[in-house]
Amino acid sequence: MSDAGYYSRSDLERLRMQQVVRDAVALVSFGLWAPRDPFLEFVRAREREGWRRADLRDLGVEISDSRRIVVSGSSSVTVPWKTSTRERVLGPRWDQREEKTLPRGSRLEISAPDRSVVVLEPIRNRKQVPLVKGVSLDPWPYAWQGVSAKVLAESLAERYARNGVNAVFFYAYNVKQGAAYWTRYPGATISSWGEQDLLKEVIKACHARGIRVIAWMYASRDRAMWTKHPSWRERRKDGTVYNPLRLHATYFLCPNNPDVRKWYVGLVRDLAKRYPELDGIELAEPLVNWFGNVACYCDVCREEFASRHPGQPLGGKEWRHWRAEGLTEFLLECIKAIKEEGIEAYLLTICDAWSNGALLTPVRQAEESGLDLDALLDSPHAPDWINFEVIWQQWAAIYGTRVFNYQWAAETSQRLMNRVDGRTRTIIHVEITDFGNQYMTAEKTAKTIRYVMKAKPDGVECYHSAALDRKSAWTVLRRCYEELE
C-alpha cells in the first residue's frame, strides 16, 4: 500500500488482499486501474453495512469509469466509449479465461460466469510506432565550442545515428536565453543559436538519418516576459514573487493569467507553425509550485478564486483543486494548439516520491503541484505522449536511503504505466546526471534503462547529450539500445 489510493497486483499479493473480496479486488488487482475512491474505503463501507469478508466475495457489482467496466453477475451495461469493446473474463484466481472483441454499440448485456468477473475495455487502435530510443539535446553546453549550428547539428546527428538513437528531444526555448530557432513572435527572445536557426539544422541533419525531433520547452516560464511584466509573475501569499532557483526551470509565469496564456500558447503555436516537419513539441515540468500551497496568489488568482469560490480560504482544499483546474486548462490550450498544427504533443513530468519510495498519487500530485495527470489524460485533448522522469539517483541523494535503486526505477515505471493505463503513449526519462553524492556512470545509466524497460513503455529518453559526451558514455548506451527490441 505504498501508494495510497492505487494498488498494484504485487502489492495486493503481498498484503494477501486477494482473499478479501472478489469484486473490490477486481477493481484494482489488474494493477491497471486507479479508482477515484480508495479501495479500502469501499471494503470498510461494506463491512459497516454488516457484510462479513466471506460474504463480500459474492457481492455483485458493476464498477466503471471512462477506461474500464468490471461486472460480476449479470448486468445491462452502457459503455461510454465509441470504439469496439474488448471483453475479458477473469476467473476466481484472476486468471484470464476468455477474451473476445464485441462490436461497437453502447448497450451490452453482460453475464459473468460464477465466481468470475467480466472486464470491458475500449479497443484503442493506435498505429504501431518504433520503440523510442531517445536522447535529450540541450544545445547550450555546446555553445562554447565555437562551431556553427550547421556543423554542430551534423556532428551530433551523426553521433546519435551511430549509437542507435532514433529520437532527439531538443531544448528549443531556453527559459533564460530564449529560442534556439528563428522566430518573429512578439516578445520571444532569440538566442545566438536562434540567430543561426539551430533547430532547422537539427531537423535537417536528424531527419536525413531517420531520427525524429521533438522540441521541448518549460511550461509557462520565461525570463524576458517575467522581467517585463511583473503582473505575470507567480506570487506567494505575502505578495513576494515565487521563483525558486532550480536548474533552468525558473521564472514562473502564472498559468492562470489570461495574458500569460495568450502569450505562451501563441509561442507554442508559432513554433509548431514555423516547423511543421517537427515530430513533436514537449511541455516540460508543468506545475504551479514545486510542492505545497506556496503559489500562486497573484492578483488574477486572488480575484478569480474569490469570485468562483466566495468565502473559501486561499490555500485550502478548494483552492488547491481550483488551482489544478487552472493549470489543466492552460495545458490543454497549449496541447490543442500543437495538435491543430498537425504536430504531436508531449508532456514531460517529474514524479515526486516520498522517502519510503512511494510516488505521490495522481490526486496528491494535483494537490501539491497543480498538475492533474488524470484530468489531462481523460481529456479529448490529451497529450499524445507522456514522458515520466524516473530519476532514482535524485531521490537517493535527497533522502539518503537505499530504497531508491534500479529495482525502484523498474517498479516505479510499472506503476506509472499502470496509471496511464493505455490512455497515451509513454516514455521513461532517465538521466546520467549526478545528484549530490550519487555519481552516475555510463554503466549505471545503462542498467537503469534496462530496469525501466521491464515495464514495457513506448520508449526511453536519456538526458542529456553533452553529459553523455563528457562521461564517454556513448558506447555503453549504444550496446544498451541495441538490446532493446
Instruction: Annotate each residue in 33-72 with x if it binds Zn ion (CB under 5 A) or - if it does not, as one string.
Output: ----------------------------------------
Cβ at position 234, least distance to Zn ion in Å: 6
- 368-407 footprint of Zn ion as x/- string (CB under 5 A): ----------------------------------------
In angstroms, the CA 291 to CA 350 distance is 12
User: Which of these segments, 120-128, 167-175, 196-204, 289-297, binds Zn ion (CB under 5 A)?
Assistant: 289-297
Q: Does 296 bind Zn ion (CB under 5 A)?
A: yes
Which of the stretches 90-98, 103-111, 225-233, 252-260 binds Zn ion when contact is defined by CB under 5 A? 252-260
For position 288 contacting Zn ion by CB under 5 A, the verdict is no
Would you count residue 327 as binding Zn ion (CB under 5 A)? no
The residue among 309 and 454 lying less far from Zn ion, judged by its C-beta, is 309
Q: Which is nearer to Zn ion, 298 or 462 (CB)?
A: 298
Count of residues binding Zn ion (CB under 5 A)? 5
Q: Identify which range of 18-26, 192-200, 295-303, 402-410 contacts Zn ion by CB under 5 A.
A: 295-303
Q: How many residues does the chain have?
A: 485
Quote the least distance from Cβ 271 to Zn ion, whole Å.
24
Residues 220, 279 contacting (CB under 8 angstroms): no
Residue 17 found at the interface with Zn ion (CB under 5 A): no
Query: Is residue 337 near Zn ion by the rule CB under 5 A?
Result: no
Give the shortest CB-233-to-Zn ion separation in angstroms: 8
Query: At closest approach, how far in Å is the CB of 319 from Zn ion?
Result: 11
Nearest approach in angstroms of CB 444 to Zn ion is 40
For position 202 contacting Zn ion by CB under 5 A, the verdict is no
Task: Say whether residue 254 binds Zn ion (CB under 5 A).
Answer: yes
Q: Which residue lies nearer to Zn ion by CB, 256 or 393?
A: 256
Any contact of residue 301 with Zn ion (CB under 5 A)? Answer: yes
From the list 23-31, 140-148, 251-259, 260-268, the region that binds Zn ion by CB under 5 A is 251-259
Which CB sits closer to Zn ion, 133 or 261? 261
**Which of 195, 196, 190, 191 shows the shortest CA–CA distance to 153?**
196
Closest CB 221 distance from Zn ion, rounded Å = 14
- For position 298 contacting Zn ion by CB under 5 A, the verdict is yes
* Residue 220 C-beta: closest distance to Zn ion, Å: 10
Minimum distance from CB of 68 to Zn ion (Å)?
36
Q: Distance between CA 154 and CA 208 in Å, rounded?
A: 10
Question: Is the CB of 254 or the CB of 455 nearer to Zn ion?
Answer: 254
Binding site for Zn ion (CB under 5 A): 254, 256, 296, 298, 301
